[in-house]
Amino acid sequence: MSSTVSQTVETTQPDVSYRSLALTPSEDNPDIRQKYRPFILDNNATEDWVNNLDLTTAADMAEQNLRATNERLKVLVLYGSLRKRSYSRLVALEASRILFRLGCDVRVFNPEGLPMKNESDIAHPKVQELRELSVWSDGHVWVSPEQHGNLTAVFKNQIDWIPLSTGSVRPTQGRTLAIAQVCGGSQSFNAVNSLRILGRWMRMFTIPNQSSIPKAYTQFPDEGQPGDQRLMPSGNRDRLVDCMEEFVKYTVLMRPHIGLFGDRFSEREERKVKEAKMLAAKSS
């Protein structure tokens, strides 16, 4: 009798492997939710495949980190196309859903209206918005189409607007980075290779894994069909999950040490020289 009862209790326990750490509407800022979380599905959406992912290890790490710090991992997501049916945007939103389930505070930047990089538009609201989001973030996710064997202008323009430093503020240094690309044809890695170079130049830590989705238009149901903005089951979708899971693990481990990674001998020496000159000027 007792064994029967214990078995019944055991089978009714929720499976923590599939738990969600996502911000609920009551926990979230409604303005942030409306502006930066277009990936959130409405209540009438069909069953979400993201909820059926076994992400035990990453979820454990994220939950322990949240309990210890009372802060969610802050993730900025960038994509590289303004098309109405942009596959880089659709993939970016799928990646965001995975991260959101793992408890991240995910914000997707809309590049529409961002001026081309120039010296006279630094005060432009979209430029300031992008820079503030990068300073706010603990890590980035970049998704670009491949156009003529490289990044699109829409994507590169966003990176060009983010400076390496603004005074003492470094908007990207020490952040983690996950990268992905969508291809119109067969699988290529030119865009992710360029993204990796950009990440290194921006002094970010790019995770080893990466995602390249070939013939992206075949990876989603046809436009107008049910679920037409959701990735269909495939090894490519699984690889995207791998990348987001790995990204969370690296970010949990590295976020406490962002300041440490920015401590450089050469910069300390520069500060000493500058301070010595200032003292000399005051005493003269």
What is the reported pLDDT for 199? 96
pLDDT reported for residue 261: 80
pLDDT of residue 20: 94
Low-confidence ranges of the chain (pLDDT < 50): 1-13
- The pLDDT of residue 171 is 80
pLDDT for the residue 165: 78
Residue 40, exposed/middle/buried by CB under 10 A (0-12, 13-18, 19+)?
A: middle
Domain that holds residue 156: 2-283
The count of structural domains within the chain is: 1
pLDDT in tens, 36-86: 999 999 875 557 999 999 999 999 999 999 999 999 999 999 999 999 999
Looking at residue 159, what is its pLDDT?
97
pLDDT for residue 4? 44
CATH of the domain at 60: 3.40.50.360
Q: What is the pLDDT of residue 11?
A: 42
Q: How far is Cα 128 from Cα 122, in angstroms, rounded to an integer?
A: 7
> For 124-147, how does the pLDDT look when each residue is reduced to its tens digit (9 = 90+)?
999 999 999 999 999 999 999 999
pLDDT at 283: 84
Tokens, residue 253: 């481990």
Nearest-angstrom CA–CA distance, 142 and 133: 14
